[in-house]
Structure 1
Amino acid sequence: MRKLLLILPLATVMVLAGCTTLDPYTGERKVSAATKGAAVGAAAGAVIGNVTTRRDRTKRAMIGAGVGALAGAAVGNYMDRQELELRQQLEGTGVSVTRVGDHLVLNMPGNITFDVNRAEVKPEFYEVLNSVAQVARRYDQTAIEVAGHTDSTGSVQHNMELSQRRADSVARYLEGQGISRVRLDTIGFGPHQPVADNSTTHGRTLNRRVELTLIPLTL
């Protein structure tokens, strides 16, 4: 991720340097609004496209920390048991559990996790995260990707930053509940992965969320 952060500012500078407009009032050259948007979009695209690399990095970190990898039929059985326990723990909390192959996705709606435009986890949501941590501690061969998402209201840059801060807040809380840092990765997707229509109030509510993707450590 450090290399990515070094590359992005350089790429942004190159884009901005090549796309300026002449201010008709001052006679000075300035970066066009369209170019600024393109630069933010390019940075967001780089983050989204880096998911596989990030997951590989987390896998290497876990193996380096001495966590054993799963293989063969053991993977499915391991995730079956983890899914069952999470469904039991999270029933009635508003958090959904979705199985995608051997991955589990926990969808935590923003309206029950955070106040509007804030990144601090609501105290009333601690119990839910405690339940997640309780299961996660028992299944320590699972990596946890914490992804923040927003609706499309406001600037892309603001939403990218807000989604990252929210993901970081959830990860810090889980770490405080005994989940090893090497198992955790955070990423902010901003408004770029909507699950509903942003033109409706209900759709925007659904898009404001944090998702935990639980990924088994495999060979």
Structure 2
Amino acid sequence: MRRLGIAVLAFSLSACTTLDPYTGEKGVGNSAKGAGIGAIAGAAIGAATASKNDRDKAILTGAALGAAAGGGIGYYMDKQEKALRDKLAGSGVQVQREGDNLRLIMPGNITFQTDSAQIRGNFYDVLDSVSLVLKEFKDTSILVAGHTDSVGNDNYNQGLSERRAYSVKNYLSSAGIPSGRVQAVGFGERHPVASNSTDAGREQNRRVELELEPLR
């Protein structure tokens, strides 16, 4: 049993070794991490649910199934992340990875003018690029979060942030993304990413963020 546990651990760690798609260096990728975690969890379930005589086999089977499930989500998001980075290169949009989730941060210089929920002309190309990727990766849910700078009162900014979020949601829907995959929410001025004391800072805060999460 001890030797089998060591074998499962070795399997998990070997699954965690991969090549970074951007640098080409060997390391630990998100999909590989998921495979390793899934292998350990699957082995634990196998050990807990099998009879004594079948425990060794159940551990190995659970490890293999867990690795496939855990690695699959990570691999799916790895591919989606690469597609978004390729499409949005040079656009000013930040692509951030948070575990198996992705966040697209779109600042005010490409999204909305002050006191406006009307999409800027140069923002359409960005949203079209995002839409192409989202149509390819159909098992992803999208949360559109609208934000404002601190100019104006709280209630007004809350409504403005909601209108901005719905402007983006409606455009994504018009571009072919099913509305059931997209939610919209406004946060007003509550979550600034820069100082509201300068024009440049307010422009960064006047933003939209898209949070992409795999459907499990």
Shorter chain as normaliser: what TM range? 0.5 to 0.7
Q: Which residue of 1 aligns with 2:133?
A: 135
The DSSP-based 3-state class of the residue aligned with 1:140 is coil
Structure with higher Rg: it is 2
Q: How does 1:142-161 map to 2 (within 5 A)?
A: 142-161=140-159
**1:182-209: CA deviation from partner (whole Å, max 9, x where unpaired):** 1000000001111122233322221110
Query: In 2, distance between residues paired with 1:206 and 1:145?
Result: 19
Partner of 1:80: 78
Q: Is residue 2:213 matched to residue 1:215?
A: yes
Partner of 2:166: 168
Aligned to 2:196: 198
Identity %: 52
SS at match of 2:187: strand
* Runs (5+) with no aligned partner, structure 1: 1-69
Displacement of 1:170 after TM fit? 0.4
Instruction: State TM-score, norm by structure 1.
Output: 0.66
| Structure 1 residues 200 and 181: CA distance shift in structure 2, 3 A | same
Paired residue type of 2:114: V
Alignment of 1:38-187 (within 5 A): 71-187=69-185
Alpha-carbon distance in structure 1 between the residues aligned to 2:77 and 2:127: 19
Amino acid at match of 1:76: G
Structure 1: distance between partners of 2:96 and 2:195: 20
CA RMSD of aligned residues (A): 1.3
Aligned residues: 149
What is the CA–CA distance in structure 2 between the aligned matches of 1:180 and 1:77, rounded to whole Å? 23
Instruction: Kindly indicate whether structure 1 or structure 2 has the higher relative contact order, using CA contacts under 8 Å at least 6 residues apart.
Output: 1
Q: What are structure 2's unaligned runs of at least 5 residues?
A: 1-67
Write the letter of the residue equivalent to 2:136: R
Superposed, 1:4-43 pairs within 5 Å as none
Aligned partners of 2:122 and 2:198: how far apart in 1?
27
Alignment check: 8 A CA contact 2:166 2:184 kept: yes
1:120: Cα distance to partner?
Answer: 1.2
Alpha-carbon displacement from aligned partner over 1:86-137 (angstroms, at most 9, x marks no partner): 0000001111111111111111112211222111112322111110000000
